[in-house]
Amino acid sequence: MDLLSREELLAIGFTAVGEGVRVSRRAVFYVIEGSIGDGARIDDFAILTGQLEIGPRTHISPFCFLGGTGGRIVLGEGVGFSTHVSVFTKSDDYQQQADGPRGKVEGDVVIGPHTIFGAQCVILPGAEVGRNCSIGVGCVIKDKVADGGRYVSMGIRSVQLP
């Protein structure tokens, strides 16, 4: 893997870069502000923007999106994102019932230490996920998840039609 140097990460906008950080040159960064802890890893084709605090030994897999443009994204130690996980701190307000342009929802996202996310999870503005949680493939997180929570998506169910 072709990795960015500590100096390159600082030039991108990170104010602190820990030891043993491994960030692919194929990851994409826009207007970055924040830090990366010791031993963190960011793989190819991840896209990161805005305010990010990436904890030690955190792993961000290929094709993840972290958008910290409406608040901060704080990832505790040992957080793991499988492929295609998306984290938003700004989003359209899908609950707004009005004609015309929609308002925006903004808020920090905080993920506790040693929490893992399966492929294609979506984490919405204001979410707070506790420590040692397991979030299964395709889950959407928009509120608080208590420490030690285990969640899986129920997915599509087949039903027999008359």
Rounded Cα gap, residues 3 and 77, in angstroms = 21
Tokens standing for residue 142: 């928009």
Whole-model pTM? 0.92
Ranges of residues in the chain whose predicted pLDDT is under 50: none
Query: 17: number of CA atoms within 13 Å, CB side?
Result: 18
Nearest to 1 by CA among 62, 51, 54: 62
Q: Identify the pLDDT of residue 158.
A: 63
123 with 88: CB under 8 angstroms? yes
Domains of the chain: 6-151 (2.160.10.10)
Residue whose C-alpha is closest to residue 54's, from 68, 8, 24? 68
Q: What mean pLDDT is reported for the chain? A: 94
Residue 161's pLDDT is what? Answer: 64
